[in-house]
Amino acid sequence: MSSNLLQLQELAHKSSAVEWFKGLFNQVHMEITDTGEKFTLVHHGNSVEISSGFRAAKPNFVIPLESENINRLTAAFSDNTIGAQEQYRIVKFMLKPCLKAALEMPILNNKTLLKIVKVDKHWQEALLDPQGNEDEQVTIIHVNKQWLVIPGYHGTPQRRLLLTPDQLMDFQRRVLAADASGKVADWVKLARWYVKWREQITIKL
């Protein structure tokens, strides 16, 4: 059994880690880029199951990490508490995977829903660190009927969003809940919330 798998299993037995990730994913694929290892994590609500390899079912998202990131993740939950800096580091790795997964959901490519939300075709996002500085900047563009998530700021966007780790986690939990319900009414409710929320985190360029 590899060191990375042992550490992930250790995390799965930490009640604080299980609770922190609750609602953020049902199933996620984790790829360790420096060792080539692949793991599937399934959140059952009160427990997390970890297995080697990628399961056939489509995950909520895929997160590429290095062994050092697993070490830091384990250390972050070692005392069963997560500080602002530790939370920021975890969420930083989730920004792009969560965003890509959300944009690939069929319902979020529904013309009627997109009309309700008035989704921009070109916007930018940045995650704020605990000191309020912009970091992990991305540009989102819709071209040829597909969404592209590009690292860094590019072009002239229709808007720019600045999010804290808490705001990103809140968004992810709401999207996952709507997707799990599968009800159009829940997606419409989420869309209306998103329109107001988006205005709150939009800055003037």
Domain with CATH 3.30.1050.10 in the chain: 3-82
> How many residues make up the chain in this entry?
205
For residue 165, give both structure tokens.
Answer: 């780790």
Asked whether 23 and 174 are in contact (CB, 8 A), the reply is: no
Phi/psi for 45 (5° steps) reads 105, -55
Give pLDDT, residue 107.
Answer: 67
The highest-level CATH class for domain 100-203 is: alpha beta
**pLDDT (average), residues 72-82:** 88
Rounded CA-CA distance 174/190 in Å is: 7
CB atoms within 10 A of CB 69: 19
pTM assigned to the model: 0.86
Chain segment 153-195, per-residue pLDDT in tens: 999 999 999 999 999 999 999 999 988 888 888 888 888 898 8
- Using the predicted structure, report yes or no on whether residue 36 has a pLDDT greater than 70: yes
Give pLDDT, residue 108.
Answer: 67
**pLDDT (average), residues 47-71:** 90
CATH code of the domain made up of 3-82: 3.30.1050.10
User: Could you tell me what percent of the chain has a pLDDT over 70?
Assistant: 98
